[in-house]
Amino acid sequence: MDRLVIEGGFRLKGEVTVSGAKNSVLPVLAATLLTDDTCVIKDVPNLRDTNTMLKILRSLGKQVEYHKGIVTVSSNKCLNFVADYKLVSTMRASFCVLGPLLGRFRKARVSLPGGCVIGLRPVDLHIKGIRSLGAEVRVEGGYVIAEARRLRGSRMYLGGAFGSSVLATDNVMMAAVMAKGKTVIEAAACEPEVTDLADFLIKMGARIKGHGTPIIEIEGVDKLHGAIHKIIPDRIEAGTMMIAALITGGDLTIKNVLFQHQGALLDKLEEAGAIIKRFDSSLRVTRKGRLKPINVTTLPYPGFPTDMQAQIMSLMSITAGISVITEKIFPDRFMHVAELNRMGAHIQREGPHAIVEGVKGLSGAQVMASDLRASASLLLAGLAAKGKTSVSRIYHLERGYENIEKKIIELGGNIWREKE
């Protein structure tokens, strides 16, 4: 197993291009199960999670080719409807094969998911949604087993204790596109990744309206066909690079960015004193002098993304003054706090709040990544720290950031791998 070593103190400068969105490509790949026709997906990032999903598709009988960011998915034999524990247990997003398997075959057997340790994330909304479509669902031996003679459209409410669920919305949408009649999803997730999936399904022949709003309407069709689709840019990678520029006092031009996906983050960074210049599909991020502390509350889209909470905490840890960061999506998503404090940060957790008292500087230390975004926050902290920072369990980082080391090195950072 490798660890990542970062020598801090280098300003990042130059241009960097954002890869395709991890949280978009995984359900889009799952949606190819809805047809035997060939689907071509472009701008697919080479990530651990992407490769896991490709393995799942192959295990279900799909023929998959992946070359230079383009995935071609086709069928040359009968598909099976059992998504095995060994693969699904490693990545929560793989649970989104449940919807297309049920929609296509009227039956599915999918292992309960795994993924990052960021607090309890039950699948009750997924089950509620597909039951509303007429499926019988039971949990048995660690698997969700769903069956239906015929799926029928219905009206359902998918709001949960902490807001809407992106994966549940994805699963229900994919199950409903070939259900008989009309389905209305209330309290649907509005995230750009849900919209990207809906756009792909529409290209395949689905009839969907309202995606990107809290009410999605789906009129079932008998059959879907193949399609070509380009994945949207990864808004979380773009945000992480924005903070990399600020935390190192650097000057980065970040290419392949959709501004409409970044509103809440840009607002908070500019409130902190960042200088952000917008171009056609890129941003230039710099700072002049010291940043100011800010208060951040994570919320469902278009609110501040929970996937940027750990990274903004790293930035605030060296910003003079007191910042309060409140986590309203996953209240236990604070595993990175203890590791940042090992580097000299002054962060105190009080329930869903983190009180961050900015320090003059961080010191390199041996730290451990607990999840994907925590690993990004530790990488950012290491870039700003004095001395060397060693980050263990970097397989988390590999799940969501394509060629992150190469990109950092090309921008002037000093970062390398070592064997544990």
For the beta carbon of residue 262, count every other beta carbon within 10 angstroms. Answer: 24
The DSSP symbol for 34 reads: G
Compute the half-sphere exposure of residue 84: CA atoms within 13 Å on the CB side of its CA.
11
H helices present in 204-288, as ranges:
235-247, 263-271
If 0-12 CB within 10 Å is exposed, 13-18 middle and 19+ buried, where does residue 159 land? Answer: middle
- Catalytic residue, chosen from 39, 78, 96, 116, is 116
The number of angstroms, rounded, from the C-alpha of 284 to the middle of its chain's C-alpha atoms is 23
Angle at 26 between CA 20 and CA 29, to 5 degrees: 100
Per DSSP, the residues of 122-173 read --HHHHHHHHHTT-EEEEETTEEEEE-SS-B--EEE--BTTB--HHHHHHHH
Phi-psi region of 61 (alpha: psi -120 to 50; beta: other; left: phi over 0): left
For residue 420, give Cα distances in angstroms to 3, 378, 417. Answer: 6, 17, 9
Catalytic site includes residue 39: no
Q: Which candidate, 190, 13, 165, places its Cα nearest to that of 99?
A: 165
Across 125-135, b (16+ Cβ under 10 Å) vs e yields: bbbbbbebbbb
Residue carrying the six token digits 């079932």? 220
Q: Which residues are annotated as catalytic? A: 116
